[in-house]
Amino acid sequence: METGFWDIWPFLLAVIQFGGMAGAAIHVMLTKTDERAAAGWVGFVVLVPFAGWVIYLLFGINRIERRARELRGQQHDMLLIAPLPARSALRATEGIAKLRELEGLARFGQKILPESFESGNAIRVLLNGDEAYPAMIDAIDRAERSVAISTYIFNNDPVGRRFVDALSRAMDRGVRVRLLIDGVGSWYSRPSLIPLLDERGIDYARFLHSFMPWQMPYLNMRNHQKIFVVDGRHAFTGGMNIAEGNQISADPRKPIHDCHFRVEGPVVAQLMHTFAYEWNFTTGELLEGPDWFPEIAPMGEVVARGLPAGPDMGLNPIRWTLLGALAEARHNVRIVTPYFIPDATLRTNLSLAAMRGVIVDIVLPSTNNLPFCDWAATPQLEWLARAGCRIWKTTGPFDHSKMMTVDGMWAMVGSANWDDRSLRLNFEFNLECYGETFAGELDSLIERKISTAHPVTRQELADRSLPIRLRDAAFRLASPYL
């Protein structure tokens, strides 16, 4: 009697399941450095037939790390942040030395990432798209040589089309334009902006974009950076996407409060270097020469450096700088972020700072565009409130702002949120800034947010009903991927 496929298919399925389960479990044990994450993945692939190891293959493996590290070795030296000239480096060191309490943080920071601190920078806060977008479009209209933009979301709406019009005008003047949009972020625009970019002939690329199923493993690793550089001298960065919702004066259907930052001075070269690296990674084109990297004169008093971070790095510079800043804090820490799901180490350091007597203010939006992120965050807020951290929920529209200050002398702004997605999976860019004037300006902005915010008390968190507590606890388990 002949044996057909339908007679042996249960055996084949068992072999496939065992092979997939065993292979995934072995890979977890050999590659995962966090014991709890490793134990969780092993349990998942063993206890959930087929789906367990398939989900691990899609979302649990950092496939981009090897590719990105190999690409670094192939890229031109121009893409590495060069050491500062001795005199500029000395000025930066002296600028930090004036803030004696933070000298240790600066030394720690250079152990984590060797990029130089740059003195002589001017950084200006721009509130919402009402201030940021006109300044950015005006910069494009004044461009003489180059425009480089990296963004997560670029919507096909009135705001997005104004940017496209400005880029088209720049190209008509002979300006070199490069636009990098995240591959997943580009899906947010309905209708898509891509046909308009093609029609205008704008040189754009989508970061790790593919509709092919075999490219799905890259889905989790997104370019979340917000970098905008004109003529290699004038820059904007922060957390703001290009979307009508940020322009509050237009009365959008879903308004979003946010802030962006105009940056001038030598540190702009570090923003441009980061863009050039990501552009080369995506397209293979090397951006070099004075159109992209001119000499830059000092413009202000802020000492700053760029913190590019991504899953291709062994130690995430943004996460480790946050830890260093919490350890150095003596008087106050103020954090504003839309998504707050810190890992256990960050949560412990926040608690330790509060228990040392440091005033720790954590300012979050009361209305979130991703409610499940709020649910996952709530158990952590309860633990932090017990340690003495002060939790605030802002009133009004969803607040997408991202900033942190320490002791009125140090600040960090940029694209990264306080969650695993930003600090483990995404490519992000933050600015680390030393200077009482800029940190003081951010402190004043945060204080204005707090003045109208709702204080979240320990009692309020403890009084959640059992179903709500179970919901929050369930979403907390998924926090590494929210």
Instruction: Tell me the C-alpha distance between 392 and 245, whole Å.
Output: 23
Question: Is the same domain home to 360 and 443?
Answer: yes
Query: Number of folded domains in the chain?
Result: 3
Among 263, 278, 305, the domain boundary falls at 305
Among 61, 80, 101, the domain boundary falls at 61
Residue 67 pLDDT: 57
Question: Is the same domain home to 338 and 282?
Answer: no
Whether 68 is in a domain gets the answer: no
Question: Is the same domain home to 242 and 358?
Answer: no
Question: Is the same domain home to 297 and 322?
Answer: no
Instruction: Tell me the C-alpha distance between 94 and 226, whole Å.
Output: 30
Question: Is the same domain home to 160 and 21?
Answer: no
* Encoded tokens for 144: 């003489």
Instruction: Tell me the C-alpha distance between 231 and 145, whole Å.
Output: 5
Whether 351 is in a domain gets the answer: yes
Among 42, 61, 80, the domain boundary falls at 61
Residue 215 pLDDT: 52
pLDDT by residue for the chain (482 residues), tens only, comes to 455 656 677 778 888 888 888 988 998 888 877 777 788 888 888 888 888 888 888 777 766 565 555 545 554 444 444 444 444 454 566 666 656 677 788 888 888 888 788 999 999 999 999 999 999 999 999 999 999 999 999 999 999 999 999 999 999 999 999 999 998 888 888 889 999 999 999 999 999 876 664 454 566 778 999 999 999 999 999 999 999 999 999 889 899 999 999 999 999 999 999 999 999 989 999 999 999 999 999 999 999 999 999 887 878 999 999 999 999 999 999 999 999 999 999 999 999 999 999 999 999 999 888 888 888 889 999 999 999 999 999 998 999 999 999 999 999 999 999 998 899 889 999 999 999 999 999 999 999 999 999 999 989 988 898 988 888 888 888 777 66
Whether 184 is in a domain gets the answer: yes
Residue 472 pLDDT: 85
Whether 107 is in a domain gets the answer: no
Question: Is the same domain home to 381 and 477?
Answer: yes
> What is the pTM for the complete model shown?
0.85
Residue 424 pLDDT: 86
Question: Is the same domain home to 174 and 297?
Answer: yes
Residue 466 pLDDT: 92
Question: Is the same domain home to 291 and 401?
Answer: no
Strand partners, 260: 126, 238
Question: Is the same domain home to 375 and 346?
Answer: yes
Residue 6 pLDDT: 63
Tell me which amino acid residue 191 is. P
Residue 394 pLDDT: 95
Question: Is the same domain home to 288 and 324?
Answer: no
Whether 176 is in a domain gets the answer: yes
Residue 98 pLDDT: 59
Residue 79 pLDDT: 44
Whether 71 is in a domain gets the answer: no
Residue 81 pLDDT: 41
Do the beta carbons of residue 381 and residue 461 sit within 8 Å?
A: yes
Q: By CB neighbour count within 10 A (0-12 exposed, 13-18 middle, 19+ buried), where does 274 fall?
A: buried
Question: Is the same domain home to 219 and 327?
Answer: no
Whether 100 is in a domain gets the answer: no
In this structure, what CATH number is given to the domain that contains residue 130?
A: 3.30.870.10
* Encoded tokens for 405: 């200050």
Whether 5 is in a domain gets the answer: no
Question: Is the same domain home to 261 and 324?
Answer: no
Range of the domain at 27: 10-61
Instruction: Tell me the C-alpha distance between 279 and 179, whole Å.
Output: 9
